[in-house]
Structure 1
């Protein structure tokens, strides 16, 4: 249900890119441009300005999520638990492997990722026939360990403005969980259900948090974006012409804009007239900070630790 007074909602949307992604995901505003991936096609895209053609920067193994390092390169979180330090075109250096693979993840891939203020990266892996989904933490020293196991489809994540709680979406469970979080130690604690979708098949997918502490989530198979209060109440529902809305991020500071990715581009007859597009919404609120990862390259290729 919408919270009393919530808009129900015909907020105007604008087309940022209508390239028909098969599985558009992981949008992130970095260095004055919008980046996102098309996971199924193994592509990474960048859109520098409205009205300018997007650039395909990468075409290789599937990228579920990525972060920016202090040197401006990206960390690409790919299939089989693989993590690569990847300089953008024009940057010096070559791609370097941080994690070759993770035990038990040969049939899986990373999905959404999130860097915290200390430069750690939380990265979820999808469930496979042999293993349930898990949430891993990649520490600045290059060590990686599972911190949550037994998940269905780990997806969008975000931190509260005070960094004392971590939101973790499990799309298969149709639930956004709110975990206690110790930012000094990187410890993920007890959880409570923050939001559960009661309108199947719509279920929460990507997630971001605004400066007011409200949570924004894209509804996969719901063709919509929700804004949730810090108490988990639906404040706003924005519908879009794409059934498979997947993820979202805020744009440049001061603009009050939100970008939303979607999937299903090759099947628009079933998935909506602009399936696979990237949409831009004017939302009149700013996004919370996006943190860089700070993973040391000299400690690349280490084995995973035991789960903690």
Structure 2
């Protein structure tokens, strides 16, 4: 059974293990929080509370990036947030982010009509913004493999994880199904482990699942509320951090209810890849 580390959250998303703490976005409050093993949280950055979606990752030089709607923000050394890139010419709003070892920033998103397919954008180290994939069925979590050659994208409405080869300039090619999860399974946030498996969170099914390439289920962690995202971390990388909350639909994203939780569960293999 997963253990509670922190409660009273709105909807936690985009968890990342960074500087010996678990960082995440607290949707509906505009907060980027960092939580230690003792469960104590610290506010690390903030955007307007109504900004959704918003998610985080880091540049290779250690500066924090925050996706805020259709803008990509960068936190400077003095803590201020400045614009890193304007994504609005390619997407009306953006969802998840992952940065590869070359400094290519992958962001997915699309429009406010969630029935329309999503796209994947790349922001290259020289500041160029371009679309590198399309036709994603509700793009959600993304991860880059340990060797930096493959991007895996969760397609929540496609009930699958899809993979792309990553070129040096951030171009994506050789799209393929990494794992067909089967009808009724809706992957949200994802992370990779050192055995090449993917953990994915699933809101409607209220669980996190570990799968091999091809779709074989290795482990399932059941919850009492929707699982929005997960990340491996801890001193040895073998703690699965899960962000969960009761889901009442998009129309209630700004509900004052604070059903969000940060949970932990032991993992069979340590973290690998990015984020």
User: Which TM-score band (shorter chain)?
Assistant: 0.7 to 0.9
Question: What's the RMSD between the two structures over aligned residues?
Answer: 2.5
Partner SS state of residue 215, structure 2: coil
| Contact 1:20/1:265 (8 A) holds in 2 | no
Partner SS state of residue 212, structure 1: coil
Q: CA deviation at 1:104?
A: 5.4
* Pairing 1:17–2:6 present: yes
* Pairing 1:38–2:26 present: yes
From 263, 287, 307, the equivalent of 2:271 is 287
- The CA distance in 2 between the partners of 1:222 and 1:265, in whole Å, is 11
Runs of 4+ in 1 over 6 A off after TM superposition: none
Write out aligned runs for 1:57-206 (5 A): 57-60=45-48, 61-62=51-52, 64-79=54-69, 81-87=70-76, 91-92=77-78, 94-103=80-89, 105-106=91-92, 109-129=93-113, 132-179=117-164, 181-198=165-182, 200=184, 202-206=185-189
Partner SS state of residue 277, structure 1: strand
Higher strand share: 2
Using the size of structure 1 for normalisation, the TM-score is 0.77
Structure 2: gaps of 5 or more residues: 250-257
- The CA distance in 2 between the partners of 1:280 and 1:209, in whole Å, is 16
- CA deviations over 1:75-119 (Å, ceiling 9, x no partner): 11111x2111124xxx4263221223422534xx22111111111
- The CA distance in 2 between the partners of 1:255 and 1:134, in whole Å, is 31
Quickly say closer, same or farther: Cα 1:63–1:32, change in 2 above 3 A: farther
- The CA distance in 2 between the partners of 1:93 and 1:141, in whole Å, is 23
Q: CA deviation at 1:284?
A: 3.3
| Cross-structure match for 1:260 | 242
Partner SS state of residue 18, structure 1: strand
| Cross-structure match for 1:304 | none
Write out aligned runs for 1:216-295 (5 A): 216-242=199-225, 244-264=226-246, 275-290=259-274
From 25, 46, 50, the equivalent of 2:38 is 50
Quickly say closer, same or farther: Cα 1:51–1:96, change in 2 above 3 A: closer
| Contact 2:60/2:103 (8 A) holds in 1 | no
Q: CA deviation at 1:148?
A: 0.9
Using the size of structure 2 for normalisation, the TM-score is 0.85
Quickly say closer, same or farther: Cα 1:47–1:63, change in 2 above 3 A: farther
Partner SS state of residue 194, structure 1: strand
Q: CA deviation at 1:186?
A: 2.5
User: How many pairs are equivalent?
Assistant: 264
- The CA distance in 2 between the partners of 1:266 and 1:41, in whole Å, is 17
User: Which structure would you say has the larger RCO, counting Cα contacts within 8 Å and 6 or more residues apart?
Assistant: 1
Quickly say closer, same or farther: Cα 1:93–1:20, change in 2 above 3 A: closer
